[in-house]
Chains A and B, each alone.
Chain A
């Protein structure tokens, strides 16, 4: 969902920006008295500035209540007794305390690394990135995810960790709720 929002928002705002630059380019062929242009330009700038502040404030309020690592938020979403899975990244594999899941499982991934920094990127069956955190030696990063669709998920390394980085992939299976799948 956020990927789509990001793409559409980028296209929309870059298009507006291109319009502004194209308009000014078109107007550059005419002449005008600069002090009058400045006076009007500064007035418009006030509204532009306030508009940007409003958009940023709205985005901040809408998004900071949904922090992916927030324990309180997770508990509010039913993670009071999550399935805790220990994940360790090591060049070039993922070690996990549990590898089979069911739809509806609320999983708390405690992610670390035993050598260098890796990136824990959880991909669904459609190869969409659905959650991630960094796998760092000496630290444990916790990320929460609820499996809502059955299928074969993959964990890809998303932080460059040397020449085997792209082979650091692990498949995990999410079965339908209440039983194993035929897959």
Chain B
């Protein structure tokens, strides 16, 4: 099917992107404030530091998921007819959840981090009052329910169109010897995200509900190690899935720009099935320092964390290089960002894989090495994909054109993002802990480098966003997406 995206869904995509762009800037500013405080360039109280840290972590992952959802919905609409009401329901529940989270943090002083490790929320509730913890946990629950409804709907649609989620993942080609290509990449990626993120959200809902019950009635408890498993099964998979949603744009747009098909052959389908399986398993690398976890499970955490790098390194990123190679592709804002985003994703996977090695993790877990690697693939990967899509959307639905300032902004963003993640990784290398409001003198220089880099990243993000909003004015002046698109 190649139906045009529903006009209402198109509006909802714009709302998603506009909200993503604005919140992104705010969250980046929060990040800079934290670095400036650690770098002794400004002084805020530890309480405010940890409140900002909680907002930054929750907000960044949430907003990456929102931007990723906009990308998924927009491109999937080319192949599967979708009811835009579901997308709007998700947005409304997202906003409701986010509002509750913000109330928790900035009205009721909740500051237990977006990891909210049990029984920390209950402990904080005793000290600072239950309202903050209850608002935060309930807000996260509502936000999660919105995404779960969305995935249930998408699962039903893919099942109706392709027969089952397995067929949408190409199982009949992998296992039954069916010849030819599998469904479009957007469908394969959506099926993967449905399976993995629904699992994540159910794990998250379980631990969120259990924590809420524990706060209301402390006699009802949960095993802390089980709670940690559930929290990271939720958090790690949810964060990973933002990439798997956003990468759909890379497949679609690079294919369109190069006029080369990016079809789901057997290797492609095997890679996505491996990603499905590994993404479900590798959250255990967050528990490599919990030696009470059975040894075999920790070894699995290391081995499969390694293996999870293979699909992206060998198939997706390599495929992007192959499709661009000698293609005479036009380099503009979108194509540049999608190409660079593949670099960012793989560049982030390298220190991530190294950190998943138990003996390395033993001396680098919870140092700044960890935000170093995930800022690489979130900031230079997912966020680059989302910003690239903002431009692509305006170009395809309107008449936005690449200008000199776009080249400047892309250079600014990636150059200083390299500085930021470099400062994080270096700080991790010299054992600077993460999530510390105040740093020792030997760690301060790396914080200052990070803060200055962050300021220029914010500047780039403001220019990106201004260009996006300016470009929106022309949206709607062109024919619907699929009628003038070369992709397919």
Q: Which residues of A contact B (CB under 8 A)?
A: 2-7, 9-10, 13-14, 17-18, 20-21, 24-25, 27-32, 34, 37-38, 41, 45, 48-49, 52-53, 56, 59-60, 63-64, 66-70, 91, 115-117, 119, 121, 123, 127-134, 136-143, 156, 158-166
B123 touching A91, Cβ below 8 Å: yes
Give min CB distance, A59 to chain B, whole Å: 6
Query: Which listed residue (A41, A64, A137) contacts B299, Cβ 8 A?
Result: A64
Check B426 for interface membership: any CB of A closer than 8 A.
yes
Number of contacts between A and B (CB, 8 Å)? 216
Q: For residue A14, which residues in chain B have a CB less than 8 angstroms away from its CB? A: 347, 350
Knowing A3-B429, A59-B306 touch, does A24 contact B120 (C-beta < 8 A)? Answer: no
Q: For residue A31, which residues in chain B have a CB less than 8 angstroms away from its CB? A: 326-328
Q: How many residues of B contact A (CB 8 A)?
A: 80
User: Which residue of chain B lies nearest to A129 when distances are taken between CB atoms in the complex?
Assistant: B431
Main secondary structure of the interface of A (DSSP, over half): mixed
Q: For residue B124, which residues in chain A have a CB less than 8 angstroms away from its CB? A: 162
A27 touching B436, Cβ below 8 Å: no
Knowing A2-B359, A127-B440, A165-B436 touch, does A28 contact B325 (C-beta < 8 A)? Answer: yes
Q: For residue B366, which residues in chain A have a CB less than 8 angstroms away from its CB? A: 119, 121, 132, 158-159
User: Which residue of chain B lies nearest to A117 when distances are taken between CB atoms in the complex?
Assistant: B117
B358 touching A63, Cβ below 8 Å: yes
4 closest cross-chain pairs (CB), A and B: A32-B326, A69-B291, A129-B431, A158-B366
Q: Which residues of B contact A (CB under 8 A)?
A: 46-47, 50, 111-113, 115, 117, 119-120, 123-124, 127, 223-225, 228, 260, 287, 289-292, 295, 298-299, 302-303, 306-307, 309-310, 313-314, 318, 321-329, 331, 339-340, 342-343, 346-347, 350-351, 353-355, 357-360, 362-367, 369, 425-426, 428-431, 433, 435-438, 440, 442
B117 touching A21, Cβ below 8 Å: no
Selected A-B contacts with CB under 8 Å, 12 pairs = A3-B364, A6-B351, A9-B354, A10-B351, A30-B328, A63-B358, A139-B225, A141-B291, A141-B292, A160-B50, A162-B120, A166-B437
Q: For residue A52, which residues in chain B have a CB less than 8 angstroms away from its CB? A: 309-310, 313-314
Q: For residue B228, which residues in chain A have a CB less than 8 angstroms away from its CB? A: 117, 136
User: Which residue of chain B lies nearest to A20 when distances are taken between CB atoms in the complex?
Assistant: B321
A17 touching B431, Cβ below 8 Å: no
Knowing A63-B358, A159-B366, A166-B437 touch, does A137 contact B119 (C-beta < 8 A)? Answer: yes
